[in-house]
Copies of this chain bind each other. A is one copy, B any other.
Amino acid sequence: METHAHLTPLDRLFLERAVELAARGIGNTSPNPPVGAVVVRDGRILGEGYHHRAGDAHAEANALRDVNDASGTTVYVSLEPCNHVGRTPACSHTLADAGVSRVVVGALDPNPKTNGAGISFLRERGVRVDVTDDQRARAMIEPFGESVCSDRPYVALKIAMSLDGFITSEPNVQERITSEEERLYVRDLRIAHDAVMVGARTVRVDDPLLTVRPPHDRLREYVRVVACSSGSVNPASRIFEPVPGYAKTVVLAPAGARERFADLAGVADVLFAGNDDATELDLHAALSALRRERGVQSVLCEGGPMLAGKLISSELCDRLIWAIAPLLLRGDLAVPALAGNGISGKRLRFDRVESVGPDVVISGVFERV
């Protein structure tokens, strides 16, 4: 598929607007990706729309809704239009039937099954289609793109550490080292991912609520997940407190240790995974179950070091989001950002670096070997 279309500066502005509209669906659209669309004639915007939630109209249909006559218009859409009749009509048909003369696409659909079918259909119907590879458009569908090619959810791993690589100056101490700005940055990440996950040890030590504060009204329920690799957690932990808009907290537990989780029965949604004789958690099996049985397509993991290390060594981590606080913590008791084996030598490609308040956030993806 040609992705080097020549776009004019105005084309880029309208596409940017489509991406901005798409962002309004962040957190709501799963298992679909967020998509936005803008209908333009002679440099004027006639209609705008975005995909609100799975099952509702797609972005293109929403953008065309209030346009009496779309013939001869250009439609800017953040993601390649679908060619698939599901709960809603295929967008490629909607666009062609409306008489649209040109479609500008911000990013290709990463679903290999799609294979450009919508674009081919439009071109066959005489619609000019310009496909580009817009960085923001692509970033917005990253979780969707990874999860459609896999049997497990997309996993982003977020870590906050000191410049010299430690998360606290001593074990079992709750210590916030990053800034309020970084907290708000992570808040937005929590909104954007279907679920937020921590390890059992983090629940024991930090006892986090793991909610979105200040609140953000999401069309889908928030999901909190605790991965219990070997031990269990206290049913009185704050993470199990019922919160409106939040599903019952999921506990990922090894299928061979059911008795260990008996006291969580009424409190949590315990999801047993792996073989019936496994007393330690098979993370891959647990994540697959989370997707298959709870419909979770994307997970933001917020630590701790054991779970983070295991996600990396098991190659279950799609993106690292690494916040670095401007302080040093080295000392005999300081806790390193990652724990466990099988990490050394893993290579990444950094693709985002930004200052977030006084902190720096570096983000990247692992090199596939």
Instruction: Name A residues whose Cβ lies closer than 8 Å to a Cβ of B.
Output: 161, 163-166, 169, 309, 312, 320, 322, 324, 326-332, 334, 336-339, 341, 343-350, 353-355, 358-360, 362, 364
Partner of A343, one of B164, B322, B350: B164
A324 to B350, CA, bound (A): 10
Cross-chain pairs A/B with CB under 8 angstroms, 12 sampled: A164-B337, A164-B343, A165-B165, A312-B328, A324-B362, A326-B347, A326-B349, A327-B347, A327-B348, A328-B343, A353-B353, A360-B362
Given A164-B337, A165-B165, A329:B345 Cβ within 8 A? yes
A364 to B326, CA, bound (A): 8
Chain B residues with Cβ below 8 Å from A334 are 344
Partner of A346, one of B327, B337, B338: B327
A331 to B343, CA, bound (A): 7
Q: Are B345 and A169 in contact (CB under 8 A)?
A: yes
Partner of A344, one of B329, B339, B355: B329
Q: How many copies does the complex hold?
A: 2
Q: Given contacts A326-B364, A350-B359, A360-B360, could you give 9 more A-B pairs where the C-beta distance is less than 8 Å?
A: A165-B336, A169-B344, A312-B328, A326-B348, A326-B350, A328-B338, A329-B343, A330-B339, A353-B360
Chain B residues with Cβ below 8 Å from A165 are 161, 164-166, 336-337
Chain B residues with Cβ below 8 Å from A328 are 312, 338, 343-346, 348
Whole-angstrom distance between the Cβ of A286 and the nearest chain B Cβ: 23
Q: Are A330 and B336 in contact (CB under 8 A)?
A: yes
Q: Are A350 and B358 in contact (CB under 8 A)?
A: yes
Q: Which interface residue of A161, A334, A350 has the most chain B CB atoms within 10 A?
A: A350
Given A164-B338, A309-B330, A350:B360 Cβ within 8 A? yes
Chain B residues with Cβ below 8 Å from A353 are 353-355, 360
Q: Are A344 and B326 in contact (CB under 8 A)?
A: no
Q: Which interface residue of A328, A337, A353 has the most chain B CB atoms within 10 A?
A: A328
Whole-angstrom distance between the Cβ of A363 and the nearest chain B Cβ: 10
Whole-angstrom distance between the Cβ of A164 and the nearest chain B Cβ: 5
Given A337-B165, A362-B163, A327:B350 Cβ within 8 A? no
Given A344-B331, A350-B358, A163:B326 Cβ within 8 A? no
Q: Which interface residue of A163, A166, A339, A355 has the most chain B CB atoms within 10 A?
A: A163
Whole-angstrom distance between the Cβ of A220 and the nearest chain B Cβ: 32
A344 to B339, CA, bound (A): 20
Whole-angstrom distance between the Cβ of A212 and the nearest chain B Cβ: 27
Q: Are B163 and A348 in contact (CB under 8 A)?
A: yes
Q: Are A350 and B345 in contact (CB under 8 A)?
A: no
Whole-angstrom distance between the Cβ of A264 and the nearest chain B Cβ: 32
Given A165-B166, A336-B165, A353-B355, A345:B362 Cβ within 8 A? no
Chain B residues with Cβ below 8 Å from A331 are 341, 343-344
A312 to B162, CA, bound (A): 15
A166 to B166, CA, bound (A): 11
Minimum CB distance partner of A333 in chain B: B344
Chain B residues with Cβ below 8 Å from A348 are 163, 326-328
Whole-angstrom distance between the Cβ of A315 and the nearest chain B Cβ: 12
Minimum CB distance partner of A342 in chain B: B331
A330 to B359, CA, bound (A): 23
Q: Are A344 and B330 in contact (CB under 8 A)?
A: yes
Q: Are B326 and A330 in contact (CB under 8 A)?
A: no
A163 to B317, CA, bound (A): 15
Given A164-B336, A165-B336, A353-B353, A343:B330 Cβ within 8 A? yes
